[in-house]
Amino acid sequence: MSYDAGEVERLPRWPSYPPRGYLGQLEDECQVAFRSERSSLSLQDCNFYHTSVLRDTTVIPGAWDLRGVENSYLGNLEGLAGARVLELGPASGHLSFFMEDKGASVVSFEVGFDRSIDLLPSIPRTDMRAERAQVMSSAVMAVNNSWWYLHKDRSSSAKMVYGNIYEMPGDLGVFDAAIFGSILLHLRDPFMALEEATRRTTRSVVVTEPYYEELDGEGANVMRFAPESGNRGISTLWWNLTPGAVANMLDRLGFDVAETTHYTVKHHLGHHLDQEPVDLRMFTVVGTRPS
Ligand SMILES: C[S@@+](CC[C@H](N)C(=O)[O-])C[C@H]1O[C@@H](n2cnc3c(N)ncnc32)[C@H](O)[C@@H]1O
């Protein structure tokens, strides 16, 4: 981190007190406050999850390079122009800004304030409160800083809301589409998160996940608990999902699933940017509310 002591006081911290019920975050006053708290961020304060391109054409490498595959990653979702979109877990925001460029009004939802990402416990068990504080105040905040860095660089109008993905603030309103890009694998309860977002979604839900061929096949409906028994360290990887499992969940939530898109994405395994990226297989399922 490169800021001086005065700035440390101004940068958001984790944990911090949320507004009551996490309400009011979409109001201009709150978005302006979020923005100004982060207005002095430098590149050193950021961790770029996505390969990102600044307005001056500088390319900042990230572990995931979605450039050129955005449409596939979003399941070739149509009608972004004029749509109100809820994006769950934007990381550095490559998709937030892509959708905004297509004319969508984007609300991105992240963990923050006093909420943490879901961590699998380690064995032997360590102090999970300390682990959470460590992960949130370093890794997650640095990635979120990159969203705000790009937001400023692009003069974006996308909005950010923080809170509990399983009980989202009651004043978010209604969305045309909800986007779950590579997040269900990181959630203790993927179905609950889907239910929570889709109950305020009128048209489409997009779910993108890594593809595991060995789990798939005719009629496969599998959600595998991901941790391997030999790996007992702190982890955020909960599930490996098949397209069939996602389609089944969306069906139960009242969405029709017509098509699954398969493609590859360039990814630096283990987020080791010094190593060559691999082509990682992914799938996207789009659910549509019957008219
Ligand atoms: C693997 S990244 C995916 C980024 C982006 N959606 C994409 O597809 O490229 C997961 C994102 O979900 C967020 N996330 C993870 N657990 C979360 C939780 N419990 N509640 C809200 N956001 C969460 C992370 O902070 C991160 O922004």
Residue 234 has a pLDDT of 85
Q: Whose CA is nearest to atom 13 of ligand 1?
A: 89
CA distances for 63 relative to 201, 231, 232, 265, 266, angstroms: 30, 22, 24, 11, 8
Domains of the chain, start order: 5-17+26-288 (3.40.50.150)
Q: Dihedral (C-alpha) 267, 269, 270, 274: value to the nearest 10 degrees?
A: -90
- pTM listed for this prediction: 0.96
Comparing CA positions, the residue from 66, 55, 113 lying closest to residue 266 is 66
Cα–Cα distance between 82 and 72 in angstroms, integer? 20
Ligand 1 centroid to Cα of residue 145, in Å, is: 14
Report which ligand 1 atom has the smallest distance to the Cα of 188: 19
* Unique residue bearing structure tokens 């389609």: 247
Cα–Cα distance between 48 and 164 in angstroms, integer? 23
Q: Whose CA is nearest to atom 24 of ligand 1?
A: 89
Comparing CA positions, the residue from 74, 67, 51, 92 lying closest to residue 282 is 74
Q: Whose CA is nearest to atom 14 of ligand 1?
A: 89
Comparing CA positions, the residue from 246, 277, 239, 248 lying closest to residue 261 is 246
pLDDT in tens, the chain (291 residues): 444 444 445 678 899 999 999 999 999 999 999 999 999 999 999 999 999 999 999 999 999 999 999 999 999 999 999 999 999 999 999 999 999 999 999 999 999 999 999 999 988 888 999 999 999 999 999 999 999 999 999 999 999 999 999 999 999 999 999 999 999 999 999 999 999 999 999 999 999 999 999 999 999 999 999 987 777 888 999 999 999 999 999 999 999 998 899 999 999 999 999 999 999 999 999 999 998
Neighbours of 251 (CB within 10 A): 12
Beta partners for 85?
106, 177
Residue 9 has a pLDDT of 52
Residue 92 has a pLDDT of 98
Ligand 1 centroid to Cα of residue 6, in Å, is: 30
